[in-house]
Amino acid sequence: MKKLIIIPAYNESESIEKTVEDIKKNAPDFDYVIINDCSTDNTLDILKKNGYNYVSLPINLGIGGAVQTGYMYAEKFGYDVAVQVDGDGQHDPAFLSVMADYLAEHNLDMVIGSRFIEKKGFQSSKIRRVGIVYFTGLIKLLTGKKITDPTSGLRMAGKNVIKLFAQNYPKDYPEPETAVTALNNGMKIEEIPVVMRERQGGVSSINPTKSVYYMVKVTIAIVIEAMRGKRK
Amino acid sequence: MMTLKLKLIILALLLLCLAGVIIEVKKRHLELKYVITWMILPVVLGIIIAIPGTLEWISGVLGIYSVMNMVYFLGFVFLLVIVYSLTVALSRQSNRIRKLAQMTALDEYEKRNSN
């Protein structure tokens, strides 16, 4: 099984080396590709210096565009499985084999690593949790499927979902919307419990104003996405 | 004073407007990010027009005698805001396209000269 780790990175000079070395050590059976989203700090220099495998975007596309580039890479080079691991060190690569095995065993199209099934490890701030519960409810209402961690970036996609995401991926705040897109295209999605760590360095790109925009935009996007109807 | 007839016509138009925009987003002809204003606007306007007394209250707050004049004025202001934000987005896009063209050209140079 050809497996790929997509590492979107924007100004992650503080944590990218640690993240990549962690992956090389704990998930040696996975290939990786770093998608440098036109970082303005010296992230690119660090990638070159260490000889890491990377794709460097000529303009900044945001997390959606960067991750979609990763899915296009996965489709182009024929990967069976692609998983997103954020460049800020929040995702623990130890869970990747577990996710891959789970995906293969249960013949799934996508596996999401959820922080909230066993509630261990970094649980995110209270405010974010309210938002997350809201999206869980909304997605359940629209698709009938309960996803406990719809904003989790730790998600593993099989060949069908790789193809789907390579063609269609939201520009920003992609996680809840893409879960609905996948569900509406008849993809089989399951979650397994994972433990996430706090951000290992650098600064999160989400602030209060953006949060309001996020809630409104993603809600509308999810509703419209659900309107596209179920396709098998 | 806005007649009931006019209010109903406007509400129907706003609904068509909203439906049209949603359909275009669904067909992926429009990017959701830029279209949110066009979605929120009919909803807000619909509420203002539907709830009796709101139009008159806003006119009072702004110091405008005629409700219809207030509607035109605010409509104009909102349009200006939307057009301006589009101008900003357009400027940004043109810069990004320029950068893409330049980098593609430099990449092609590199490829051509590495043979």
Count CB atoms within 10 A of the CB of residue A41: 13
Q: Answer for the pair A122, A110: CB distance below 8 angstroms, yes or no.
A: no
Mean pLDDT score of chain A = 87
CB atoms A227 and B22 under 8 Å: yes
Contact A224 B25 (CB under 8 A): yes
Question: What is the reported pLDDT for A95?
Answer: 87
The arithmetic mean of pLDDT across residues A49-57, rounded, is 95
The reported pLDDT for the residue numbered A82 is 96
CA–CA distance, A26 with A94 (Å, rounded to integer): 6
Minimum distance, in Å, between the CA of residue B50 and any CA atom of chain A:
23
- Residues with Cβ within 8 Å of A90's Cβ and at least 6 positions away in sequence, in order, are A122, A153, A196, A197, A198, A199, A200
Comparing alpha-carbon positions, the chain A residue that sits nearest to B106 is: A58
- Cross-chain Cβ contact A216/B36 below 8 Å: yes
**Per-residue pLDDT tens for B67-114?**
788 878 888 888 898 899 889 999 999 999 999 999 999 999 999 998
CA distance B94 to chain A (A): 12
Q: Which residue has the higher pLDDT, A72 or A170?
A: A72
* Lookup: tokens for A71: 């899915």
Q: Which of A59, A168, A228 is opposite residue B26, by nearest beta carbon?
A: A228
**Among B26, B32, B36, B104, the residue to mutate for chain A (most A Cβ within 10 A):** B32
CB A161 within 8 A of CB A109: yes
> Which residues of chain A have a Cβ shorter than 8 Å from any chain B Cβ?
58-59, 168, 170-172, 216-217, 220-221, 224, 227-228
Distance from C-alpha of A180 to C-alpha of A112, rounded to nearest angstrom: 13
**CA-CA distance, A21 to A25, in Å (whole number)?**
6
Kindly list the residues from chain A whose CB atom is less than 8 angstroms away from the CB atom of residue B26.
224, 227-228
User: pLDDT tens digit string along B35-65?
Assistant: 887 888 888 888 888 887 887 888 888 888 8
Predicted structure pTM score: 0.83
On whether the CB atoms of residues B35 and B25 are closer than 8 A, the answer is yes
Mean pLDDT score, A1-30: 91
On the question of pLDDT at A131 being above 50, the answer is yes
Q: Which amino acid is at A53?
A: N
Chain B interface test: which of A220, A222, A227, A228 (most B C-beta within 10 Å): A220
Q: Which of A186-190, A195-199, B31-35 has the highest mean pLDDT?
A: A186-190
**C-beta atoms of B100 and A58 within 8 A:** yes
Handedness of CA A162, A166, A169, A174 (dihedral sign): positive
- Whose tokens are 């080396």? That residue is A17
